[in-house]
Amino acid sequence: DIDNKPMLPDDYEGPNLTSRMEEYIEQENISKFNPHTRTRSEVLTLIYDHVTKSYDLLYPSNDDYLRMAKSIVNKLHIPPALSKNSIKDWHESIKQKFKRERKPLQMSNNLVKSKQEKYGNGKTNGRPKKKSTILQAERRRVDIPLINLAHRENENLLVMVNQMNMELLKDDPNNELLHDLWIQSFNIRRLCIRELDIVEILERFPGYRRSEMILGEVKESTGIDIEENVNVLLPKFFDHIPDNNCFLSGKLLKKIYSN
């Protein structure tokens, strides 16, 4: 029964933080966890993965969100005088994180689909619910390869994306593994790009901050190898650039206009 959802325990402690995050906490460098920072985004990903995998909880209650927020504030050793506002900020950030992560699942996850059908079509009492943009957005005229998460061979894609993001958190990531995972996750990334804004895309797929992965994306989607083209075409371009001596410049140009 999809309505009998699990709950987090009252003493929920949250996921283990990375060694880099622990160093920030030991140094009392809490600004690293401020809104719109990379570290905060990484913490949100850690707690989302922990709750959805360990507790199978995709739709937390308000109390669950509070437990998650309190667990993070405790880990950050926020002073009591500031903890109330900090919990409030983390509560909202975690809530938005879950909403963003659920959006691509509207096409595949039975629980998410049932919630969307029940609450997302304007049939509830009160103010009509806004339709999901995943059903409205249609910006491309040319077909691109899209993922069907209902296919058995694609069931592990979300796990693979999370594995890729965890690898990116490492100080010395395995570039060969990242390249393979980046190629394998092509379809799910294209699906998300159709629906999410730039900030959400960078949070869910931080690999887009790496130039080599962006070039790989272009090659995968268009068949054009930009890096190879640059190496081939730039020398030809430079050969056609005229010598600067052919142009008036410097003291000579100044003398002409002064006369």
Boundaries of every domain in the chain: 19-110, 152-232
Which parts of 76-146 fold into alpha helices (H)?
Answer: 80-102, 110-119
From the centroid of its chain, how far is CA 21? 19
Tens digits of per-residue pLDDT, 107-122? 555 655 666 666 655 4
Run means of pLDDT, 10 residues per run, the chain, 259 residues: 68 94 92 89 94 90 95 93 91 93 68 60 51 44 43 59 80 82 78 78 83 81 84 83 62 53
Res 112: pLDDT: 55
Measured distance CA(217)–CA(163) in Å, rounded: 18
On the 0-12 / 13-18 / 19+ scale of CB atoms within 10 A, 139 is: exposed
Measured distance CA(212)–CA(166) in Å, rounded: 18
Q: Which residue has the tokens 């008036």?
A: 248
DSSP 109: -
**pTM of structure:** 0.45
